[in-house]
Chain A
């Protein structure tokens, strides 16, 4: 078993880093450790959307580019550091759409170089993606034009789960997008609330909700490791804290003060 800072050290500068969506096991303690380690030039892939984690990494100067279907703080509003960075051009933006990101990861799962996806034609998303290609139905079955999406293989993916066992099997419940992310990424780093001695593969009910350890590169314990986001059936999102972040991060100075307090300060030392 590693600790969280050791996991953060396993994310190299310049890596393509896949982040799960806000409701799905976002490892915020590990994100704060990444900011403390001053990781640089990350190419973030949101699967397919993200909020607080991406916004904090962008605000802290850790990010070179973002490929996303959306970055949003949900009920708390726009992701302020993301919006500011895109407006200023200080991060490169690759706009996508949710199923295109899922499809690109599924291509990697299957070990094929690309996969087709319907829709998209006529969208300016497509018009700004020179890595995507429109072809006439190559099998001649009369389906018209269709878009080919190249496979995406993230260098590193990070998640926070309620539970792992001693063999590195990780419980993901019905959050199957985490399986897709794990299957596609070269390295998967996992933080967990707790470990259990009994194998998660020992009975069918928990095995069906488990990501097998051969996809998992390292696991570390992080109590309350999704906070201030929620972890289903464990704790609810701290909506006051997320709203406080949204207010603070409207300005660079406000963001810096927030990060000083929650990432570098006494609050962080308690992690």
Chain B
């Protein structure tokens, strides 16, 4: 079965959400790929984990205002969240503010959203940035919206666990403050990853290939799960999964 890049990324993220430690996945605004991955796993596992799409209607469980997702995370009620970045460095620092010298940066992006809190409170943060270039993966971010690691006298139960790009998946080791390459996408190479990453990372002796999408999962995405995706992301469901709401 042929598949698109986005379908590949959905199934790649879904495999990171299958463990029993994942009881509640929250997905921020404008994140159809992570949202579809969470809905896929929920379908496969018969209703667990809970999935909260904050801009959905029936898929948005929050009834106590914008603060509720942060309060829930602060209490440990959210196990997985997704963050990205204009820049990400080798210590998993995230920059969502802009490039150049702050405050009057050369190129201003929207801002840090809730990253400076969710990164500390959600145990399994998955960094998701399809574009894998040296523009994004820099030696050191120009502005730290949210730091990848913290000193011991700062309370922190959460942080980065994985980085998913179109080229590869990396895992983050907080104790060593370093990423480690987990697998490389089909048809891509370790050399490409090295060429397009501006920071150093650990490389295993044998680099596995990220599995291609499972056929049964592609079928689900293009049918029943696609319909659930369409409830929140109608354009994405139509254009990527071929499902009309």
Interface residue ranges, A against B (CB under 8 Å): 21, 23-24, 47-49, 68-72, 74-75, 78-79, 82-84, 86-89, 93, 95-100, 102-103, 106, 117-126, 128, 143-146, 174-180, 232
Judging by beta carbons under 8 Å apart, are A123 and B147 in contact?
A: yes
Given A24-B66, A87-B105, A180-B65: A118 and B110 within 8 A (CB)? no
The answer to whether B153 has its CB under 8 Å from any CB of chain A is yes
- What string of 1s and 0s marks CB contacts (under 8 Å) between B136-171 and chain A? 000000011111011111111000000000000000
Residues of A within 8 A of B119 (CB): 119
Count, chain B residues at interface, CB 8 A: 51
Partner of B104, one of A21, A68, A89, A96: A89
Which residues of B44-78 are within 8 A (CB) of A?
A: 55, 57, 62-68, 70-71, 74
- Given A72-B111, A120-B116, A175-B65, output 6 extra A-B contacts at Cβ < 8 Å: A70-B110, A75-B235, A122-B150, A123-B112, A126-B116, A177-B67
Question: What are the 8 tightest A-B residue pairs by CB atom distance, in nearest-first order?
Answer: A176-B65, A70-B111, A122-B147, A72-B110, A102-B67, A119-B120, A98-B114, A99-B70
Give the distance in Å from the alpha carbon of A24 to the alpha carbon of B67 in the complex. Answer: 13
Across the interface, do A93 and B103 meet the contact criterion of CB distance under 8 Å?
Answer: yes
Q: Which residues of B contact A126 (CB under 8 A)?
A: 116
Residue of A nearest to B142 (CB): A124
In the assembled complex, B3 has its CB within 8 A of some CB on chain A: no
Q: A70-B111, A75-B30 are in contact. Are A87 and B116 (CB under 8 A)?
A: no
Chain A: CB-nearest residue to B97: A95
Q: Is B106 an interface residue (CB 8 A)?
A: yes
Tell me the residues in window 85-140 of chain B with beta carbons closer than 8 Å to chain A beta carbons: 96-98, 102-121
Would A82 and B108 be within 8 Å (CB), given that A99-B70, A118-B121, A175-B65 are in contact?
Answer: yes
5 A-B Cβ contacts within 8 A? A84-B108, A106-B67, A119-B117, A119-B156, A174-B65
Contact B108 A86 (CB under 8 A): yes
The CA-CA distance from A144 to B144 in the complex, in Å, is 21
Residue in chain B with minimal CB distance to A68: B111
**Structural contact, B108 and A83, CB atoms closer than 8 A:** yes
Report yes or no: B145 in contact with A123, Cβ–Cβ below 8 A. Answer: yes
When the two chains form their complex, are residues B66 and A122 in contact, meaning their CB atoms are under 8 A apart? Answer: no
Residues of B within 8 A of A121 (CB): 147, 150-151, 154
Pair A70/B66 contact, Cβ less than 8 Å: no
A23 CA / B62 CA spacing, docked (Å): 14
Q: Are A83 and B109 in contact (CB under 8 A)?
A: yes
Is A125 a contact of B154 with CB atoms below 8 Å?
Answer: no
Whether A87 contacts B65 in the complex (CB less than 8 A), given A69-B114, A118-B74, A119-B120, comes out as no
Q: Name the residue of chain B whose CB is nearest to the CB of A121.
A: B154
Other-chain residue from A24, A71, A96, A178 in contact with B110 (beta carbon distance below 8 A): A71
Q: Which of chain A's residues have a CB closer than 8 A to the CB of B57?
A: 232
Q: Is the CB of B175 closer than 8 A to any CB of chain A?
A: no
Known: A177-B65, A180-B65. A123 touches B106 (CB 8 A): no
Assembly CA distance A83 to B104 (angstroms): 10
Complex contacts, A99 vs chain B, CB 8 Å: 67, 70-71, 74, 114, 117
B206 proximal to A (CB < 8 A): no
Q: How far is the CA of A120 from the CA of B102 in the complex (A)?
A: 17
Whether A180 touches B67, Cβ cut-off 8 Å, given contacts A75-B30, A97-B116, A145-B153, is yes
Distance A193 CA – B104 CA, assembled complex (angstroms): 40
List the B side residues contacting A79 at CB < 8 Å: 110
CA distance A122 to B74 in the complex (A): 18
CA distance A71 to B98 in the complex (A): 12
Most buried by A among B63, B110, B145, B147: B110
Q: Which residues of B contact A100 (CB under 8 A)?
A: 116-117
Q: Which residues of chain B are near A47, meaning CB under 8 Å?
A: 66
Task: Tell me whether A119 and B153 are in contact (CB under 8 A).
Answer: no
Contact flag A21-B66 (CB < 8 Å), given A121-B150, A122-B154, A124-B143: yes
Does chain A have a CB within 8 A of B29? yes
Contacts of A82 in B (CB 8 A): 108
A143, B155: Cβ atoms under 8 Å?
yes
Nearest Cβ on chain A to B204's Cβ, whole angstroms: 29
